[in-house]
Structure 1
């Protein structure tokens, strides 16, 4: 009996210790962000908190992309270009893009979520660039909300859940924060569903699409093509495409990072003194044909000029040409294709 009493006292002591720490454990859980209901693989961006009680139902992250950011009122939808026209041209920041869709189900309305996000943005040092609640014309363009159905993201809701929501409850804002390491832009769209909808997998409540663009220069990752590789490509295909010659956007000034590629072109020409080349500039289709013809020719001229002045290549061996976007190697519909189309080609004369 004494042994059983001793064991019983031991069990009660252990239970007492567990019960003593249980309130602390519960308190810990209460202060922890339990996001088990979030879409697998998704996460908050550390630059902006979520609305209390909301869950992530859509997510997309890309290390580098261009983004069209609204900063003024919508005027019309251009059916020829399939683009939205605004009172002022939209900004086009480039950098890391994170797109998060949050669902705040229940009695939450879009205006409550919208006001909370604007307050949070301002408290974090953002300047509001556009606020649809201060735009008298905003109610006229709600049918031309950004085409979320074409967005490439993972979601457990319909990709059209924003497009099909109640039009009179849409709120849109854009904001900017300056940082030494690169400015940050936010584009916020908040909508509302008055009831559950099985077609769009929507729950009654508010949804917030938060797009965050952290501007930064694109890292050049193209491998420099050697002189021997250039020679082999010209022999086998009649040309060589080069991506290691860099220019500022819409300019023809060659960046210092282009030196390795230019040096290999010079090496090729010095190894083959009889070789004569067309230097052909290619662009994507952004900006129209006339602009890009001029830009591609000026860039080709710049390459020829540097090879002559800095590497001693005789003027008669190189001819500059610009063909704009007339010879694409990929579709210009997406940034990945446009990047492939922006190149310089060497073609023997």
Structure 2
């Protein structure tokens, strides 16, 4: 059974969508707007994101559960249940096929800690039934998976509800540097966890970085591969400043890979996503330190 949030407000509305989720799924967030709008992606991000703006009663819910079976194992039953209930899938994709970083930041996502999105491991679905829309977003963080559904019904009459349950989300464990190559090979991305940054700074704090050496060795062993370096920040400071700092963090790592390790510049792209993809809560120094990071994401590999 899915455990609902203990909201002490008003009676909850009847849901148009009740996702089929694993038995350990715990609902951590619910928001109902009597009149709102939602950006529904109807195709992949390719320079721009094709969207339909759905308006009406908007209901958003988020669940957390164990991630042992992966995101596809969660999305499959959810999609089957929607189609069995008369919903027509308009668009479905996985991380790279969705458009990667740009797609993630062009859609509506509940902020952490209720919802975490791994930029290299997420799935999205948009479905329509008459005038109603529903979208689903599934991702992972460490040993937990997260599911967000958003329903839009222009004909529904609902009472507004907002509530969340504290989510005890542990920081993702630091990846042993010897496992960088394994992570790139098996899951397509790795946190370069020995690249340390102070809040608000893009300057690297050490002289030698085992993770960059391991990444350079992997690139040498895979001469056709390309990698995106993605910079992140904690939640302190404004969004625009954090985006700029996160981009400079990725560029700092790229510069060292080129200068010290001889990696061709054309094999390394950089992105900055600010504080929008945390791997730990930002309410502790340990969590903020974990979120100030650079990740390597495999973008192509023949």
TM-score, structure 1 normalization: 0.34
Higher-RCO chain (CA-CA 8 Å, sequence separation at least 6): 2
Q: By percentage of residues, which structure has more strand?
A: 2
Instruction: Provide TM-score, normalisation by structure 2.
Output: 0.39
